[in-house]
Amino acid sequence: MNSEVLQSLRTVSAHVGSLAELFSADTSRDWLVLDACGIHADFSRQHVNQQLFEQLLSAAESVDIASRFTAMSSGAIVNATEQRAVGHFALRGSSTDAAMSQLAQLQLQRAYKLANDIRGGVHKGSTGHSITDIVNIGIGGSDLGPVMAHAAMRRYSDGPRIHFVSNIDAAHLDACLATVQPSTTLFVIASKTFTTLETMSNAQRARAWLENAGMDSAAHLVAVTAAPDVAVQWGVPAEQCLHFFDWVGGRFSLSSVIGFSVLCAIGELNFGALLEGMHDMDTHVLDTPLGQNLAVVHGLVWWLNSAVLQRASIAVVPYSHDLRFLPAFLQQLMMESNGKSVHADGSAVEAPTSPVVWGATGTDSQHAFFQMLHQGTQVVPVEFVGVVARTGSDDNAHLQLNANLFAQAQALAAGKSDAQGHKNFAGNRPSTVLMLDELSPRRLGALISMYEHSCAVQGWLMGINSFDQWGVELGKVLAQDVAAELESGTLSANKTMTHPLLEWYLRARKKLLPK
């Protein structure tokens, strides 16, 4: 977005007035309330009036949001820096690119067949026992999406127990292996390249654990990868290699075979409903005018807060224990996608890009960081996510949960005056409320798709490429060099800014080694 448009938006936003003034002029502000795909979205407590909203829509039109979504769904090259299509539309039957859709469907059917065999006891471990536990080994998009979806779908899980291991810290895998048996455990190794350091380190340890227990490891391994030939060479049978593609970014990959562990937990019918919910939202995004388009308006509001109003972070607070991993999932989706400092053409970005995304569940977080949200010096927009239908066994407890959500939204907006100061709440703090009518597979799919598309909208408004992640690479490359030096005990002659720290570490490590 060019600086003139940003400055114009900032000028208009400076005269919007407080939330109290906005509601005094329009007590419902229902033009900022949208309903789509089972999600009720209330943006009325954002610092937006009609004039600013119209200018935000004009900004979206100026970067041709609608045409960009059409191009993405058609399989066009959208990821310019890597010259790739961005194909998550094809994973749930929303793409007009027949070749991509056919590839996605083929792998989905293969995943359904293998998952049904595992759930039904047809696929057994090497000693003839049925699989009772599945350990998903992956990191980043191969972990955060599946972890979030598996927890959210707790009430629909009737298959093997699912465990997740991501960290190269041996304690993570150790703790998992202590709870499972080799004869009944299957490992899903999820890595796009099948070379990811953390994932393959854990995979090698898992394979050794199986073989040391007398198992034929091949029966206990599944690969989810864009490099099936590498996986076969590593030791995974070809029929147990599920393929996804370089046009699927990791953080957008839950609807691909990366979701295989979730599929094994909830079964084909429920996983299919998850994909249908994504398709519902895809269709809404493609067919709905910008002003009524949930993902577009959501993206505009996030962009308003981060780029126009220059608020550096946003707190995502799900009032649902089952959605407790949603903030971590959104951290990667938003910050890896939009945490960029150059435009798609390589020129420097002058405005803020991705906000810091953080959060935790309500009501727990009310007793942790809400003090700062209400009375701190920083204005942090809050995104509340709730569910109308109860997800636990106690209806009154669920009513109390949602009562707290609504009360916090009101308290942030309205505040409370106190002459002595310590009990003064300034109010005028923005928040959005997203309410799902139920936490079902279909509604979860719609919510995930909405966030994916909102992320893309924000990136287009920022003028960046949301679909690459070069910032992930540098630290990984340097870590390999550092690891080699630490293993040898000899540091490179090239002095770095961490050289003194590495020297100290080697001395400290030497003290722990056997004499």
Instruction: Kindly list the catalytic residues.
Output: 336, 367, 476
Q: Two tokens at 90?
A: 């094809």
- Collapsing DSSP to helix, strand or coil, 253 comes out as coil
**Structural contact between residues 114 and 123, judged by C-beta atoms closer than 8 angstroms:** yes
**Structural contact between residues 249 and 86, judged by C-beta atoms closer than 8 angstroms:** yes
As a 3-state breakdown, the chain gives helix, strand, coil percent values, each rounded to 5, of 55, 10, 35
Residue indicated by tokens 């943006």: 43
Using only C-alpha atoms, the chain has a radius of gyration, in whole angstroms, of 24
Alpha helices for 187-259 (secondary structure H): 197-212, 228-234
385 to 345, 364, 406, 444: CA distances (angstroms): 36, 14, 11, 12
The angle formed by the CA atoms of residues 117, 259 and 39, to the nearest 5 degrees, is 125
Own/partner long-range contacts of 162-166 (Cβ < 8 Å, ≥24 apart)? 162/133, 162/134, 162/136, 162/261, 162/262, 162/264, 162/265, 163/133, 163/134, 163/135, 163/136, 164/135, 164/136, 164/138, 164/261, 165/135, 165/136, 165/137, 165/202, 166/137, 166/138, 166/139, 166/140, 166/198
Q: What is the DSSP letter of 348?
A: B
Strands 313-318, 356-358: pairing kind: parallel
Cα-Cα-Cα-Cα torsion 432, 437, 439, 441, nearest 10 degrees, comes to -110
Report the amino acid identity of residue 38.
G
Give the up-direction half-sphere exposure of residue 53: CA atoms within 13 A in the CB hemisphere. Answer: 17
The neighbour count for residue 323, using CB atoms within 10 Å, is 24
Question: 127: buried, middle or exposed (CB in 10 Å: 19+, 13-18, 0-12)?
Answer: middle
**Alpha carbon 28 to chain centroid distance?**
32
- Collapsing DSSP to helix, strand or coil, 385 comes out as strand
Q: Two tokens at 206?
A: 């898992």
